[in-house]
């Protein structure tokens, strides 16, 4: 049986991942965790380009003049995590044990904090945090705090996967922060889904007519700013050169992680690598 076999029953799974504290400390020592500066762990792979986007934003937004000024980052780009929307909408394979595996692995490798560039996967946030002993920055909570600060009183247009929309992951947080928001109806959601999965399959020039009509429709319903509630959407907006006013939770997460480890955040402008 593999040490990190996600198919194990939960008690065995936890036992294998945790081993004993002595072994855990040895692994951390070998990974070089006992250093002065804090380490960021990225629970990635959902999707790979969204993981690259978060990593890139951390690099571009960190004040640094040399390689050594940058942050030590450990990335688990696990592309085998089952589709989160498929689980939420169609009762497909659960991604939970895969997420737990990655989170615990990052902690054992020396991460001081975990961040996850997938909005829909935050559906499992509470269950994953129960298995780790280090902070796990919640991207959706951080986005809501920034919206409350910078767009107080504005109506927000929420764009996301169908899984995020139907699970209410953002709804609960927005309601708790008294943020007024609207979402696409079921018929219009398909345009958002098409754009998201176009990015996942590497299409840099997707058909955007329906999507642009949706944005105009949501603005006519009062949306003053859009929240890009899927980590592929900031990439899509870059590809399609969409200049609407929007909130990028990936960028917010990057900034919060930089601040957590004690570095200074700088303006990245519109520089992109992809």
Strand partners, 41: 74, 114
Q: What's the pLDDT tens digit per position in 221-239?
A: 999 999 999 999 999 999 9
Contact by Cβ (8 Å): 159, 230: yes
CATH number of 140-248: 3.40.50.1860
For 252-269, what is the mean pLDDT?
94
Of the candidates 151, 128, 141, the one whose C-alpha atom is nearest the C-alpha of residue 174 is 141
Residue in this structure with the two tokens 């194990």, named with its chain if needed: 8
What is the location of CATH 3.40.50.1860 in the chain? Answer: 10-138+252-260, 140-248
Domain 10-138+252-260 sits in CATH 3.40.50.1860: yes
Look up tokens 């006992």; give the residue.
34
Summarize pLDDT for 146-160 with one digit per residue, the tens: 999 999 999 999 999
Least confident of 9-13, 119-123, 148-152: 9-13
Q: Which of 58, 76, 7, 23 is nearest to 263 (CA)?
A: 58
H-helix or E-strand spanning residue 142:
helix 139-150
- Higher pLDDT: 30 or 222? It is 222
pLDDT tens for each residue of 54-97:
999 999 999 999 999 999 999 999 999 999 999 999 999 999 99
Tell me what the mean pLDDT of segment 14-36 comes to: 57
Three-state DSSP class for residue 118: coil
Averaged over 181-189, what is the pLDDT?
A: 96
With a CB cutoff of 8 Å and minimum separation 6, the contacts of 19 are none
- For 31, other C-beta atoms within 10 Å of its C-beta total 15
Residues acting as catalytic residues: 118, 230
How does residue 268 score in pLDDT terms, banded at 50, 70 and 90?
confident
The first and second tokens of residue 269, run together, are: 């402008």
Identify the residue whose tokens are 């595996």.
Answer: 101
Strands (E), the chain: 39-44, 72-77, 113-115, 156-160, 181-182, 225-229, 246-247
Q: Are 104 and 18 in contact (CB under 8 A)?
A: yes
The mean pLDDT of 121-145, rounded to a whole number, is 98
Question: What is the C-alpha radius of gyration for the chain, rounded to an integer number of angstroms?
Answer: 19
The answer to whether 45 touches 80, Cβ cutoff 8 Å, is yes
In terms of C-beta density within 10 A (0-12 exposed, 13-18 middle, 19 or more buried), how is residue 28 classed?
middle
Q: Of all residues in the chain, what percent are helix, strand and coil, respectively (each to 5)? A: 50, 10, 40
Peptide bond into 167 cis (omega under 30): no
Contacts of 197 (CB under 8 A, 6+ apart): none
* Secondary structure (3-state) at 159: strand
């Amino acid at each position: 049986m593999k040490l990190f076999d996600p198919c194990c029953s939960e008690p065995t799974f936890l036992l294998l991942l945790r081993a004993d504290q002595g072994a855990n400390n040895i692994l951390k020592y070998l990974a070089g965790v006992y250093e002065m500066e804090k380490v960021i762990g990225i629970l990635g792979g959902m999707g790979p380009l969204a993981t690259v986007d978060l990593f890139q934003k951390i690099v571009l937004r960190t004040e640094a003049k040399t390689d050594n000024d940058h942050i030590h980052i450990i990335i688990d780009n696990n592309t085998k995590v089952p589709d989160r929307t498929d689980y939420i909408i169609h009762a497909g394979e659960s991604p939970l044990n895969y997420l737990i595996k990655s989170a615990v692995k990052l902690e054992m490798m020396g991460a001081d904090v975990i961040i996850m560039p997938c909005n829909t996967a935050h559906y499992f946030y509470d269950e994953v945090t129960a298995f780790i002993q280090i902070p796990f920055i919640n991207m959706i909570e951080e986005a809501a705090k920034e919206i409350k600060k910078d767009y107080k009183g504005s109506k927000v247009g929420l764009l996301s996967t169908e899984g995020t929309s139907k699970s209410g992951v953002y709804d609960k947080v927005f309601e708790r922060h008294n943020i007024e928001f609207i979402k696409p109806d079921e018929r219009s959601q398909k345009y958002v889904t098409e754009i998201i999965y176009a990015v996942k399959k590497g299409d840099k020039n997707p058909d955007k007519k329906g999507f642009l009509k949706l944005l105009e429709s949501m603005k006519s319903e009062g949306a003053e700013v859009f929240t890009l509630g899927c980590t592929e959407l900031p990439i899509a907006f870059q590809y399609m050169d969409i200049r609407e006013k929007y909130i990028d939770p990936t960028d917010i997460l990057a900034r919060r992680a930089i601040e957590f480890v004690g570095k200074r955040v700088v303006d990245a402008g519109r520089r992109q690598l992809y």
